[in-house]
């Protein structure tokens, strides 16, 4: 392994966020435009976009197409950002692509990409090198100035939009929607999750010139309708509807993916969408693991994500699909309003009478981690009866949580909920998989079991 090229990649983290497409466009030109070697579905939004991308990519793979998937950030290894047919690319391929990028950076005038831009460039080169026929590409931050905007997208998807990264994207939902909707390719299909905020809806509709090429997806009605019909009245939901006011975000992501394939006319992939859903393993998102006690892992990096996670835990309990956690491990990166971020979790702690919360500190990522003592203090200030313990070491916090879960019930240890920053969940997966024997990185569960029989279908 060439340590120099990996060190160079790591050094690019110092450049932070770059609100410009110029550097990436220049480097793509020097690399002979690899992003034009395949069509891509481009996905933006605040929550659920990774899950939507994973299901979409798996549907294309199961339909027989060699499919590339680019997502960010990663949980355990940077290779996870770039997958082909469900598996992260190899170190050898990643390194070869990095060397090509490093070389073209030296051409005068010299150009230095950010860490994120470099990983995107690696994805484009790897996809071209491996003969990818279709790509699914997730935006990193926003949309307007995201490097992924340079892909050749024949369909764009907008998932739920919420307040996040306000220091970069804007202070209001409408401002954030405007940045994310900038991924729209005029004349190409757009599918957007129906927003109940009028300012968001109007902002997205203004972005699209031809309202006959864009659809709103109404999950509560299980149907899509064109922007050009958005002003028409819709009948209220009948008392016989399947919808009870809430749905798991995995189901919402699946519905968006399914409708996108239908709109695109991708018949083979559309036929595989149900199988893709059951065969998709998206690590760190409502993921159950046995750790001597049952453990539920979920990334919740913003207030709406935390709300969705806590609502889903209630939903699963109400359907007797999963037990309520008895112990919690939490750690997060900086939030605009820590109290608002924690409120849904506090409500869950009170409702479920959760007795112990272990507050820890994830490694710094794109954002700085909240000090565990500060986070614990805010939790205590919100007034729960739970015992709140701050432990900076994630490993120690996990061990303490496990011991507590067993102490609460030695015969049937209480479930542990690990929630918060994606960097926290990534570190927890590394600790659990210390010997590297568990496959947390392949997002496509093999459809072939014993004697060629699908073990899930």
CATH value at residue 52: 3.40.1190.10
pLDDT of residue 23: 97
Strand partners, 68: 84, 135
Same domain, 298 and 419: yes
Same domain, 41 and 61: yes
Task: Indicate whether 390 belongs to any domain.
Answer: yes
Q: Is residue 442 assigned to a domain? A: no
**Tokens linked to 424:** 């926290």
Shared-domain flag, residues 202 and 326: no
> Are 61 and 177 contained in the same domain?
yes
Confidence band of 161 (pLDDT split at 50, 70, 90): confident
One domain for residues 121 and 266: yes
Residue 452 lies in a domain: no
Asked if the model's pLDDT at residue 25 lies above 90, the reply is yes
- Model confidence band, residue 436 (pLDDT cutoffs 50, 70, 90): low
Q: Are 53 and 148 a contacting pair, CB within 8 Å?
A: no
Same-domain check for residues 355 and 335: yes
Dist CA 433 CA 415 (whole Å): 19
Dihedral angle at the C-alpha atoms of 335, 247, 330, 412, nearest 10 degrees? 170
Is the per-residue pLDDT at 417 higher than 60? Answer: yes
Q: Does pLDDT of 319 surpass 60?
A: yes
Q: Distances from the Cα of 103 to the Cαs of 5, 49, 97, 435, in angstroms?
A: 11, 33, 10, 35
Residue 293 burial by CB count (10 A; 0-12/13-18/19+): exposed, middle or buried? buried
> Order of strands across the sheet with 387-390?
287-290, 294-299, 416-420, 327-331, 356-359, 387-390
Which tokens in the block code for residue 407?
Answer: 């102490």
Q: Is a pLDDT exceeding 90 seen at residue 322?
A: no
450: its two tokens: 């014993």
Out of 29-43, 207-221, 363-377, 403-417, give the one with best mean pLDDT.
29-43
Which residue has better confidence, 257 or 168? 257
pLDDT at 216: 95
Question: Nearest Cα to 145, choosing from 110, 120, 111, 174?
Answer: 120
- CATH number, domain of 300, equals 3.90.190.20
In a domain, 47, yes or no: yes
| Total domains present in the chain | 2
Query: Contact 239/223 with Cβ under 8 angstroms?
Result: no
Domain co-membership, 353 together with 390: yes
Q: What HEC string does the chain produce?
A: CCHHHHHHHHHHHHHCCCCCCHHHHHHHHHCCCHHHCCCEEEEECCECHHHHHHHHHHHHHHCCCCEEEECCCCCCCHHHHEEECCEECCHHHHHHHHHHHHHHHCCCCCCCCCHHHHHHHHHHHHHHHCCCCEEEEECCCCCCCCHHHHCCEEEEEECECCCCCHHHHCCCHHHHHHHHHHHCCCCCCEEEECCCCHHHHHHHHHHCCCCCCEEEEECCCCEEEEHHHCCCCCCCCCCCCCCCCCCCHHHHHHHHHHHHHHHHCCHHHHHCHHHHHHCECCCCCCEEEECCCEEEEEECCCHHHHHHHHHHHHHHHHCCCCCCCCEEEEECECCCCHHHHHHHHHHHHHHHCCCEEEECCCCCCCCCECCHHHHHHHHHHCCCCCEEEECCCHHHHHHHHHHHHHHHCCCCCCCEEEEECHHHHHHHHHHHCCCCCCCCCCCECCCCCHHHCCCCC
Whether pTM > 0.85 for this model: the answer is yes
Kindly indicate the confidence band of residue 242, based on its pLDDT and cuts at 50, 70 and 90.
very low
Whether residue 96 is predicted with pLDDT greater than 90 in this model: the reply is: yes
At 235 the pLDDT is 52
Residues 191 and 259 placed together within one structural domain of the fold: yes
* Range among 108-112, 161-165, 174-178, 245-249 with highest mean pLDDT value: 108-112
Residues 6+ apart with CB under 8 A from 451: none
Q: What is the mean pLDDT of residues 33-44?
A: 97
In a domain, 143, yes or no: yes
**Banded pLDDT at 238 (limits 50, 70, 90):** low
Strand order in the sheet with 190-193: 87-88, 82-84, 67-70, 134-138, 40-44, 153-158, 190-193, 214-218, 223-226
Q: Is residue 269 part of a domain?
A: yes
Q: Is residue 119 part of a domain?
A: yes
Q: What confidence tens digit (pLDDT) does each residue in 65-74 have? A: 999 999 998 9
pLDDT band at 450 (very low <50, low <70, confident <90, very high): very low
Which pLDDT belongs to residue 234? 56
Domain residues for 185? 3-234+243-278
180 in the same domain as 85: yes
Radius of gyration of the chain (CA): 22
Residue with token string 């913003």:
302
Residue 449 placed within a domain: no
Do 147 and 255 share a domain, yes or no? Answer: yes
| pLDDT, mean of residues 89-97 | 97
Contacts of 240 (CB under 8 A, 6+ apart): none
Whether residue 455 is predicted with pLDDT greater than 60 in this model: the reply is: no
State the average pLDDT over residues 21-40: 98
Over residues 323-332, the mean pLDDT reads 94
What tokens were used for 67? 């499919």
- Output 25 or 162, whichever has higher pLDDT: 25
Cα distance between residue 139 and residue 49, in whole Å: 9
pLDDT band, very low/low/confident/very high, at 304 (cuts 50, 70, 90): confident
Per-residue pLDDT of 348-383, as tens digits, reads: 999 999 999 999 999 877 778 999 999 999 999 998
Whether the pLDDT of residue 153 is over 80: the answer is: yes
pLDDT at residue 64 greater than cutoff 90: yes
User: Would you state the pLDDT for residue 240?
Assistant: 52
Residues 249 and 335 reside in one and the same domain: no
Do 39 and 156 have their domain in common? yes
């Amino acid at each position: 392994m060439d340590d120099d090229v990996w060190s160079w990649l790591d050094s690019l983290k110092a450049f932070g966020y770059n609100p410009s497409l110029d550097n990436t466009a220049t480097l793509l030109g020097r690399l002979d435009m690899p992003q034009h070697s395949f069509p891509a579905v481009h996905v933006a939004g605040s929550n659920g976009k990774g899950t939507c991308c994973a299901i979409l990519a798996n549907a294309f793979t199961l339909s027989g197409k060699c499919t590339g998937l680019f997502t960010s950030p990663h949980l355990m290894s940077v290779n996870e950002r770039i997958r082909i047919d469900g598996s992260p690319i190899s170190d050898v391929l990643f390194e070869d692509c990095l060397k090509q990028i490093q070389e073209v950076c030296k051409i005068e005038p010299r150009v230095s990409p950010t860490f994120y831009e470099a990983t995107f460039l690696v994805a484009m080169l790897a996809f071209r090198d491996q003969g990818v026929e279709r790509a699914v590409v997730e935006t990193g931050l926003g949309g307007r100035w995201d490097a992924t905007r340079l892909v050749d997208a024949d369909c764009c998807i907008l998932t739920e939009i919420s307040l996040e990264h306000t220091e970069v994207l804007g202070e209001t939902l409408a401002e954030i929607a405007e940045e994310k909707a900038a991924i729209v390719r005029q004349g190409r299909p757009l599918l957007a999750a129906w927003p109940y905020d009028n300012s968001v809806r109007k902002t997205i509709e203004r972005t699209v010139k031809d309202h006959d090429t864009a659809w709103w997806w109404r999950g509560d009605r299980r149907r899509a309708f064109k922007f050009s019909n958005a002003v028409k009245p819709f009948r209220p939901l009948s008392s016989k509807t399947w919808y009870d006011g809430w749905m798991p975000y995995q189901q919402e992501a699946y519905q968006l993916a399914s409708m996108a394939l239908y709109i695109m006319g991708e018949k083979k992939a559309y036929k595989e969408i149900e199988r893709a859903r059951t065969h998709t393993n998206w690590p760190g998102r409502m993921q159950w693991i046995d750790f001597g006690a049952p453990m539920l892992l979920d990334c919740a990096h913003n207030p709406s994500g935390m709300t969705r996670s806590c609502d889903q835990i209630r939903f699963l309990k109400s359907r007797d699909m999963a037990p309520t956690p008895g112990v919690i491990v939490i750690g997060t990166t900086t939030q605009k309003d820590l109290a608002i971020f924690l409120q849904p979790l506090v409500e869950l702690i009170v409702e479920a009478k959760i007795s112990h919360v272990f507050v820890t500190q994830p490694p710094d990522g794109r954002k700085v981690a909240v000090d565990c003592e500060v986070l614990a203090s805010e939790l205590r200030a919100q007034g729960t009866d739970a015992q709140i313990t701050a432990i900076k070491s994630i490993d120690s916090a996990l061990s303490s949580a496990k011991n507590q879960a067993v102490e609460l019930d030695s015969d049937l240890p209480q479930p542990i909920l690990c929630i918060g920053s994606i960097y926290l969940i990534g570190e927890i997966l590394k600790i659990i998989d210390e010997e590297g024997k568990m496959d947390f990185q392949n997002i496509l569960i093999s459809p072939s079991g014993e004697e060629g029989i699908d073990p899930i279908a």
